[in-house]
Structure 1
Amino acid sequence: MQNIKNIIFDYGNVIFDIDFSIAQASFQKLGITDIESFFAHKAHNQLFDDFETGAISPAQFRTGIRKAAGKPDLTDKQIDNAWNSLLIGTIQENHDLLLRVKEKYRTFLLSNNNEIHYDWITNYLKTTFEINNYDAYFEKAYFSQHMKLRKPNTNIFEQVLKDNNLDPTETLFIDDSPQHIEGAKKVGLNTLLMTEKPAQLESFLKANGIL
């Protein structure tokens, strides 16, 4: 791509595999019905937005799941296991790739996340790859629950641009969610919709002229 100097990466299903269908099945086993309106890739209950923006605590999130399932006796572990079931993992090759991309561009991570998933991922990175976080792989990593903002709202993109003095016309945003792509376009970012699995991230970047 011409004129691109900066890249903002999404995390889930760009760098790291997630599977919404597994979480849907897990929530259904807990007793939640009408799962497509409660939790899906393109739409979900307000509970998830609140959790991803840090408006509610993990304890409040779990209370919301118990209420939705109609089962007040669900344990924290049952709920966390169901919620974390969508987290699949990543590959060392993607970490190596990110370091190569960082040599050519200013790179950033921008993820809709939450405290329960963040803790799981942090532990996974330590035990699987012996890394503590993504500080070495990006100029800065942004997570929605820390920012109190989430994609696709334009204010989260504006914050990243402002913090780092980025020109949106020179900045590329890569995400797997069409609604997030549309939010990024509203602030003038160049965009790419991730259409491959994270294991194919390198070939995706090459096919789109990034590498």
Structure 2
Amino acid sequence: MQNIKNIIFDYGNVIFDIDFKIAQASFQKLGITDIENFFAHKAHNQLFDDFETGAISPAEFRAGIRKAAHKPELTDAEIDAAWNSLLIGTIQENHDILLKVKGKYRTFLLSNNNEIHYDWIINYLKTTFELNNYDDYFEKAYFSQHMKLRKPNTNIFEQVLKDNNLNPAETLFIDDSPQHIEGAKKVGLNTLLMTEKPAQLESFLKANGII
């Protein structure tokens, strides 16, 4: 792409497969009803925003799930299993392509995440790929629970731009969520909506002239 020097990648459903339908079914099995309003791709209960910005602890998040399910007897393990059912995995090829992209651009990761998912992902990376984190694949990886900010709010994009002295006109943001794309546009970022599965990341980047 012309004039692009920096790329900010989302994680879920760009690099790493996640499945909202599986998580919805898991929450329903715990006893949560009205699942489309409680947890979906485009909207969800405030509980998730609070957890993703580090405003509440894992214990408080689990208490919120028990309350929503009307089941105080639910165990931490049951709740964590349901919540982590969202996470599917990634492929080595995506890590390889990230290194290739890093060779051409300054690259960053910007993910709405939370402590329970983050711990699961780090363990997954260690056991599956022998990676400790994503430090080698991006100049810097940003996670919402550490920043106390989340997409699509403009302040999270502004923080990444400021931290790294990035010109938004020279920076591309790639995400699978239309609402996040709209937030990025408000601060002047170039954007691409990920319309393929993470397994097609390389072909998607080639089709859009990034590699």
TM-score range, shorter chain: over 0.9
Deviation at 1:164, TM superposition (A): 0.1
Deviation sequence 1:73-129 (CA, Å, 0-9, x none): 000000000000010000000000000000000000000000000000000000000
Instruction: Give the superposition deviation at 1:150.
Output: 0.0
* 1:32 is aligned to 2:50: no
Q: Secondary structure at the match of 2:40?
A: coil
TM (norm. structure 2) is: 1.00
Give the Å deviation of 1:42.
Answer: 0.1
SS at match of 2:41: coil
Q: CA deviation at 1:19?
A: 0.1
Deviation at 1:134, TM superposition (A): 0.1
Task: Using the TM superposition, give the Cα deviation of residue 207 of structure 1 relative to its aligned residue in structure 2, in angstroms.
Answer: 0.2
- What's 2:137 paired with? 137
After superposing on structure 2, the runs of 4+ consecutive aligned residues of structure 1 that deviate more than 3 Å are none
User: What secondary structure is seen at the aligned counterpart in 1 of 2:12?
Assistant: coil
**CA displacement at 1:149 relative to structure 2:** 0.0
Aligned-pair RMSD on alpha carbons? 0.2
Quote how far apart the aligned CAs of 1:61 are: 0.0
SS at match of 1:88: strand
3-state SS, counterpart of residue 47 of structure 2: helix
- State the 1:37 CA deviation: 0.1
How many angstroms apart in 2 are the aligned matches of 1:71 and 1:125? 33
TM-superposed deviation, 1:145: 0.0
Using the alignment, how far apart are the partners of 1:173 and 1:165 within structure 2? 15
User: 2:207 and 2:99 mapped to 1: Cα distance?
Assistant: 19
Shift of 1:30: 0.1
Q: Quick one: distance in 2 between partners of 1:31 and 1:94?
A: 36
Q: Which runs of 5+ in 1 are unaligned?
A: none
SS at match of 2:103: helix
Structure 1 residue 29, shift from structure 2 partner? 0.2
What's the TM-score, normalizing by structure 1? 1.00
Q: CA offset at residue 9 of structure 1?
A: 0.1
Percent of aligned positions that are identical: 91
Q: Secondary structure at the match of 1:141?
A: strand
Q: What is the CA distance between 1:56 and its match in structure 2?
A: 0.1
CA drift at 1:132: 0.1
